[in-house]
Amino acid sequence: MIDLMERGGVFYNLSGASPAEVLSDAVSSIPLPPGVGRESFLAAILEREALMPTAIGDGIALPHPRSPLISDPADQFVSVCFLRQPVAWRALDGKPVGTLFIICSASARLHLQTLSRINFLCRHPPFRALLQARASREELTAAIESAERAWSQE
């Protein structure tokens, strides 16, 4: 997970008053792999959001394309994006979203693995508190490294 976040980066104060506006700002900021255009990546994420919102509750959303846009696992990434202002995202718990984990995976299997790890992290109150506090990249990295050490011991 750390390697995915290192490729994708951590971004603060993204703006927008709707999911589409926020995602547009995010996609204009995050590094994309070679061969993936910003417009096509944004369109794929918006298409997925139109099917069903990716808000998972507690102010967190996991936007991603419905189908992989890349084939090389070395190009996968997760971008953590903190919004300037929370945005209504049609979350089941009704809470507006303030944190995005934008996911780009090379296959359905790898995508599910990434979703599983992010969901695991987001279920833990200490990690959610880091997200609420808009923690630094270093703090997020330390928390994820700790979780990954625990996963490797299972």
Tens of pLDDT, residues 95-104: 999 999 999 9
Question: How many domains does the structure of the chain reveal?
Answer: 1
Tens of pLDDT, residues 29-55: 999 999 999 999 999 999 999 999 999
Owning domain of residue 125: 2-152
With a cut of 70, list the residues of the chain below it in pLDDT.
Answer: 151-154
H helices of the chain, in order, are 2-8, 19-29, 38-51, 108-122, 125-132, 137-152
pTM: 0.93
User: CATH number of the domain that 12 lies in?
Assistant: 3.40.930.10
Residue of 124, 125, 103, 122 lying closest to 114 (CA atoms): 103
Helices (H) and strands (E) in the chain, counts: 6, 5
Alpha carbon distance 144, 137 (integer Å): 10
